[in-house]
Structure 1
Amino acid sequence: MDLTEQHTARWKLLGPGIVAAATGVGTGDLVATLVAGNQFGYTLMWAVVVGAMVKIALAEAAGRWHLASESTIFHGWSTLGRWTHVYFAPYIIIWGFVYGATAMSASALPLATLFPVLPLEGWAVICSLTGLVFVWLNRYAVFEKVITALVGLMFVTIVGLALYIGPDVVQTVKGLRPLLPRDSAMYTMGLVGGVGGTITMAAYGYWVNAKGWRDATWIRMMRLDNSVAYITTGIFVLATLVVGAELLHASGIVLTEDDKGLVDLAAILEQRFGPVISTVFLVGFFAAAFSSLLGVWHGVSLMFADFMGHIRGKVNRPVAERERSWEFRAYVLWLSIPPMVLLQFERPFALAVIYGVVGAFFMPFLALTLLWLLNSSRVPRQWRNGWLSNTALGVAGTLFLALCLHELWNQLTSV
């Protein structure tokens, strides 16, 4: 095999990173980025770049743990003590219940706008059950292909829209300077820490194993896969910021800070550019939302199956076995069916507070435990952290801890 064929073969192997990045970038991230562009124009462009770098470091650490230790992230957490189980058990149950409703509603919004023959709740149920059936019947290889197709769709539509609107090149370059406009601190931390940063960062290692990468010989491939994925995500998010800056900031339009803000944007696009552009945007909106739903239905269910396997003494089962396990299917059902009750109501206040508190801890928990694990004798010396990885994970842990404390403060002051 010549050098060109080797490079082509490597590019064909890419996949788990795209799955993790696509799953992590949901509609909430799109709205946050649009609102940041809406309020501050191009000024926070640099924060998106830093955020992509932080995610590359964090996902690389998760993937390296799986390959260097030849065990899962939950196995690593278990070696740190039973306290990790005490945190993880309520987290994954509460998070799954609330996120299930959020994901199905977000996926339904563009469909209800494009096809108003059903109410939002009806489309939400269809999206949830479609995700359930798809994940139940298919294995990782098919799942990866479908997610990759959805990523291509959302990338082409959103980046194409940004190019169609026309970015201000001078302001884009100026936006790469690290400046903090007044009242922008939390938007900045949210852009750095929030876009693509969820429990799916931890699921990345499980998808790496599902791809067939199971030992340290795959670390170089994993690093390429991860870097390509988050650079692609960074371009996607930069394009979203351009749309917010050009279409909203310049016009003085204020966007709603929830998923309905994306429907409002579709209406603005229709007024400015006609129904075709608006429809294309809604298709990209659906691709972003539904790829997140499918990713969580699959990846977090794998994590739950691993968690239950550790409790039952079944450690490091093959991914194919986990995908067929009752624990995997039970969690897919938990994500898909019970959250439907929340579609008829606002999120119960007590549940919202608990969800906010347990969810705020996860990203600092992930960053700091990876820092701990990858500096220990649990991995071979050659694959332990160097100064660059330690710096990146330390910065990520500090950033996520600050966001965590801010979220806790918001929850406490809202009581």
Structure 2
Amino acid sequence: MPKTLDDELHTAGAGASGRRERAASVPRVAWLIGPALVAGVAYLDPGNVASNMTAGAQYGYLLVWVVVLGNVMAWLIQYLSAKLGIVTGRSLPEVLGARITNRWGRRAYWLQAELVAMATDLAEVIGGAVALNLLFGVPLLWGGLITGTVSIALLVLQSRRGPRTFEFVIMGLLAIIAIGFTVGVFIAPPDPGGLLAGLVPRFADTNSVLLAASILGATIMPHAIYAHSALTRDRFATRRGGPGARRDSGDPTRRIAWHGFGISRPADEPAPAPGTSTEVPTGVLVRATRWDVSIAMAIAGTVNLCILLLAAVNLAGVEGTDSLEGAYAALGVALGPVVATLFAVGLLASGLASTSVGAYAGAEIMHGLLHVRVPLILRRLVTLIPALAILWLGFDPTLSLVLSQVVLSFGIPFALVPLVVLTAKVGVLGQWRNHWATTAAGVGASVFLIVLNGVLLWLVFTGA
């Protein structure tokens, strides 16, 4: 019979005398799930929608393999990020900030990470603005302001009510996103033969390479790598020193205090009443995180694939579908106003949810690398400026979204390579360091992404 969570806690809680420590209440595995679902929203931001819709409309099933491959790599990457936060009690930016001793080197690393965060904000705010324009006719600039205001409200909720409440809100938006982007596929299902053919890796021309890089930049999000380690750190904080405290990464029985639905108890709070607290070993958290990441990536991968298939079936060869507005109109003609409206609602939920996660990641990047804490709301206001400027100047929103994902794609190696290296080190994760096969897979993913971006640069600059 397989071991249950109760069994694992019983084994981990046994002392030298063989007696079981008291655990009046055991948190269920479901209570350990949440951080990956929040980080996974980054994989369903408006940039994903624009990239996948454009790929499906222009190339049909050709780039299905890119979506699938990107999602497989994303599972590995998000798991490593979450594990780093659980075991060390620090986010990836914090670990790098402590290890990059050269001040200018640390600032240079922060600058590229900050540009990635700004590109993320750009995609999310523009996507929300476009959705509000489609649904209610709100001018794009005002739509961007509304999206930014809602994101500030969500961040205030996160800071005042804690990570678990924030997770529930984001999960609700995630459900809306999933419904909005998948309904059309059930009404007009894809061709099985075309879908299978799309699993064969290949490109058609330079633009298909650009779109592949855009899809990967939208699927494997650098800011999601930074954010996930911080989300697990904040949720699974120890009693000693609170979030970010230095921990003994080599102790297999190190445990983390929980109460209620799994919200960690700050160090200065009194102990909870009997029957409401228990201790969860690191190993249990790491295993639960695999489930958390698997669920989140399964949702994100399915929705992203459905977006591409929706466009491949209904928008291929249709004029004017190279923009979100054109795709919305074409979906209304092909599948009816209900499907088109659900698509716009999904796009709006995508912008609102992902912009909050992006702001959270940006604040963590600044804190971890520059050791500077800027109030989250102030930072949110500052990072709104580039997106609002693009909307005010009248740039094409869809093209801006796609290009922002290419910028994210170039930021991937700077987040991914250090993550793979750090999680392979005994001195960082102790017994929880990567298995050699995990490290090899991480190296393979890094090499693939770097080579793809190199080819893209060569094609763009040579005009091939």
- Counterpart position of 1:263: 325
- Counterpart position of 1:314: none
Q: Distance in 2 between matches of 1:370 and 1:254?
A: 43
Bigger radius of gyration: 2
How much has 1:112 moved relative to structure 2?
A: 1.2
Cα RMSD between the aligned structures? Answer: 3.2
Greater Cα offset, 331-340 or 68-77: 331-340
39, 48, 52: which one pairs with 1:20? 39
Q: Which amino acid aligns with 1:21?
A: G
Q: Distance in 1 between matches of 2:320 and 2:47?
A: 13
TM-score, normalising length: structure 1: 0.82
How much has 1:283 moved relative to structure 2?
A: 0.6
Conserved? CA contact 1:42–1:172, under 8 Å: yes
415, 422, 426: which one pairs with 1:373? 422
**Residues 1:126 and 2:146 aligned together:** yes
- Counterpart position of 2:318: 253
- Counterpart position of 1:225: 292
Greater Cα offset, 59-68 or 332-341: 332-341
User: Per-residue displacement from partner, 1:342-381 (whole Å, max 9, x unpaired)?
Assistant: 432267xxxx9xx999855421011111222122233244
Residue 33 of structure 1: SS of its match in structure 2?
A: helix
**Residues 1:291 and 2:311 aligned together:** no
329, 338, 343: which one pairs with 2:391? 343
Conserved? CA contact 1:155–1:236, under 8 Å: yes
How much has 1:408 moved relative to structure 2?
A: 4.8
Q: Which amino acid aligns with 1:42?
A: Y
User: Per-residue displacement from partner, 1:172-210 (whole Å, max 9, x unpaired)?
Assistant: 23433x231432444445444542423122211111122
Conserved? CA contact 1:20–1:203, under 8 Å: yes
Residues 98 and 237 of structure 1, relative CA distance in 2, 3 Å threshold: closer
1:154-233 to 2 correspondences below 5 Å: 154-176=177-199, 178-183=200-205, 184-192=208-216, 194-212=218-236, 216-217=282-283, 218-233=285-300
TM-score, normalising length: structure 2: 0.74
- Counterpart position of 2:444: 395
Conserved? CA contact 2:66–2:201, under 8 Å: no
Structure 1 segments unaligned to the other structure (5+ residues): 312-324
Q: May I ask how many residue pairs the two structures share in their alignment?
A: 387
* Identity between Structure 1 and Structure 2 (%): 22
**Residues 1:41 and 2:60 aligned together:** yes
Q: Distance in 1 between matches of 2:415 and 2:157?
A: 30
Q: Distance in 1 between matches of 2:62 and 2:408?
A: 29
Q: Distance in 2 between matches of 1:26 and 1:93?
A: 18
Q: Distance in 1 between matches of 2:108 and 2:310?
A: 39
Q: Which amino acid aligns with 2:295?
A: V
Q: Distance in 1 between matches of 2:456 and 2:377?
A: 32
Conserved? CA contact 1:38–1:254, under 8 Å: no
- Counterpart position of 1:138: 158
Greater Cα offset, 191-200 or 385-394: 191-200
Q: Distance in 2 between matches of 1:97 and 1:46?
A: 28
Q: Distance in 2 between matches of 1:25 and 1:328?
A: 22
Conserved? CA contact 1:208–1:222, under 8 Å: no
Q: Which amino acid aligns with 1:106?
A: G
Greater Cα offset, 269-278 or 56-65: 269-278
Q: Distance in 2 between matches of 1:338 and 1:276?
A: 33
Q: Which amino acid aligns with 2:172?
A: A
Q: Which amino acid aligns with 2:447?
A: T
- Counterpart position of 2:172: 149
Conserved? CA contact 2:315–2:331, under 8 Å: no
Conserved? CA contact 1:301–1:329, under 8 Å: no
Q: Distance in 2 between matches of 1:289 and 1:359?
A: 16
Conserved? CA contact 1:59–1:202, under 8 Å: no
Q: Distance in 2 between matches of 1:93 and 1:174?
A: 38
76, 79, 85: which one pairs with 1:66? 85
